[in-house]
Structure 1
């Protein structure tokens, strides 16, 4: 007996709005203590990094960067409280098109991938180790 398969013929890749919803859902599944450390962090979804970011990060292609943290991490004294005049808030960027490209080439769900990149980028803000980030991801999937 054949298993039921999704009919992909009418499905489209998630647009920016759907990707933002996916990122919000991924963030909501993260442990509460981890989310509390993210007060004031802005999560943005864009199709691609801008040219300045690509140059700064040494990327060869606009598909090389899946996400990015910009700001002053908690480990360096950053946070939502006490922003200096003119200082931008800490931000996490998720890049939709590179994430979709990566997803198409690998054997994991899009939700898992978005969670992984989100935790990794927020982990830079918080100053976590790779082991800490892996534990947070595991808790989000439980």
Structure 2
């Protein structure tokens, strides 16, 4: 059992996952942190039905995180300011993956966060999969 897993007697709360995400974000190299400055990181219990439908998913546990916003590759200085870009981490799907995979919870949260940050930089799912395969 890892240090992360011994920390909780009950399932980690949304606040616990937010704390892990903040720690993971702080560990990202400064140039990357600077590039995603202003992006909001939120923890929600589950994706809503509208999100699942838009993503073509049938079950909410299939989605651990989501980037909402305009990727940097599509932004222009001429664009009118809109809502801030947001990274959503979905608590229940993350906890299901944690239990099923046995992976350290901090590593799992960090991986979901980095995956969603990659979308902020304009990477597609295929591009992210290629990057993850190289690591």
Does the pair score TM above 0.5?
Answer: yes
1:4: which partner in 2? none
Question: For residues 55-108 of structure 1, what are the alpha-carbon distances to aligned partners after superposition, in whole Å with 9 as ceiling and x for unaligned?
Answer: 111111111100000110101116xx77625x2111100000000000101031
The structure with more radius of gyration: 1
Could you tell me how far apart the structure 1 residues matched to 2:120 and 2:107 are? 20
Q: 1:111 to 1:83 in 2, by over 3 A?
A: farther
Which position in structure 1 is the counterpart of 2:109?
Answer: 114
1:51-130 equivalent positions in 2, closer than 5 A: 51-77=49-75, 84=80, 87-128=82-123, 129-130=127-128
Structure 1 spans left out of the alignment, 5+ residues? 1-6
Residue 20 of structure 1: how far off its partner (Å): 0.8
How far apart are the structure 2 equivalents of 1:49 and 1:132? Answer: 25
Shift in Å, 1:134: 7.5
Match of 1:12 in 2: 10
Greater helix fraction, Structure 1 or Structure 2: 2
Partner-residue secondary structure (3-state), 1:43? strand
TM-score (norm 1): 0.78
Structure 2 counterpart of 1:3: none
1:11 Cα deviation from its structure 2 partner: 0.5
CA contact (8 A) 1:123 1:133 kept: no
Segments of structure 2 that go 5 or more residues without pairing to the other structure are none
1:36 aligns with 34
* Structure 2 residue matching 1:89: 3-state secondary structure: coil
Q: How many residues align?
A: 128
Q: CA RMSD in A?
A: 2.7
